[in-house]
Copies of this chain bind each other. A is one copy, B any other.
Amino acid sequence: MPDKSNDAHIVQRFDRELEGVRSNVLAMGGIVEQQLSDALQAMADCDADLAERTATNDYKVNRMEVQIDESCTRILALRQPTASDLRLVLSVAKIIADLERIGDEAERIALFVTRIARANCNRRHYTELLHMGTLVKDMLHNALDAFARMDARQAVEVARMDEKVDAEYEAHMRQTMTYMMEDPRNIPPFLDSVWCARSLERIGDRSRNLCEYVIYLVKGKDVRHTTLAQMEEVAR
């Protein structure tokens, strides 16, 4: 039955293509994680060189986004996937867009750290930021892990962490405002720390987005713009 074996061959090739896309997404995620991790390390060590290297590495992430997007388009055009295969391709298209923007935020942080480290580096400005950075790094890592393991429950757990990040961000902003009002000479360095905090908060939001796509992928339900409780309901 040559026809059937030919069909099986096509199915296998299709599965390999999908698997390739999936592992490329994880590779892209790994690079973005490293970018964030390096930006935070540069902040902790006041290391302008590491910060600058991190900022210039962003082109790799951009290139991967375009490549994976092309693979998705090719699969849609040639394989015309349906059901869960279609959901995988559509989720991937969204995931890489958010990953690319997480990379942009990491680049932004690295650029501020470059400036901070070249001017004056007062660790007092950045201790709380680093704590927030660790939280956000965990969020991103666990979101990618939930995607790798197709784990909707873990995705909800990550989304829950975003509330903690938002609370830390608010506290940081209030604290920073007080420092700036105490002594106007503090304004420029603290304003840089405000931008870093803002970027970290955005990375938290985007990691939450990743979790929403994982839930869509696993459960077939769009949970964007829903509450954490509704998300939990769907993931159960």
Contact = CB atoms under 8 A, between A and B. Distances in A.
Interface string A182-226: 101101100100100010000000000000000000000010110
Interface stretch (A14-22, A26-34, A70-78, A129-137): A70-78
Contacts of A62: 224-225
Interface residues of A, number: 32
A44 interface: no
A9 interface: no
Given A76-B76, A97-B97, A222 B180 contact: no
A223 to B, nearest CB: 10
Nearest to A209: B97
Nearest to A183: B184
B191 A184 contact: no
Nearest to A61: B225
Contacts of A86: 73, 76-77
A67 B91 CA distance: 16
Contact of A180 (B73, B93, B187): B187
A6 interface: no
A90 interface: yes
A80 B89 CA distance: 13
A1 interface: no
A62 B226 CA distance: 10
Interface of A: 59, 62-63, 65-66, 69-70, 73, 76-77, 80, 82-83, 86, 90, 93-94, 97, 177, 180-182, 184-185, 187-188, 191, 194, 198, 222, 224-225
Given A65-B225, A93-B93, 18 more contacts: A62-B224, A62-B225, A65-B224, A66-B222, A66-B224, A73-B90, A76-B76, A77-B82, A77-B86, A80-B80, A90-B93, A177-B191, A180-B180, A180-B187, A181-B184, A182-B184, A184-B184, A187-B187
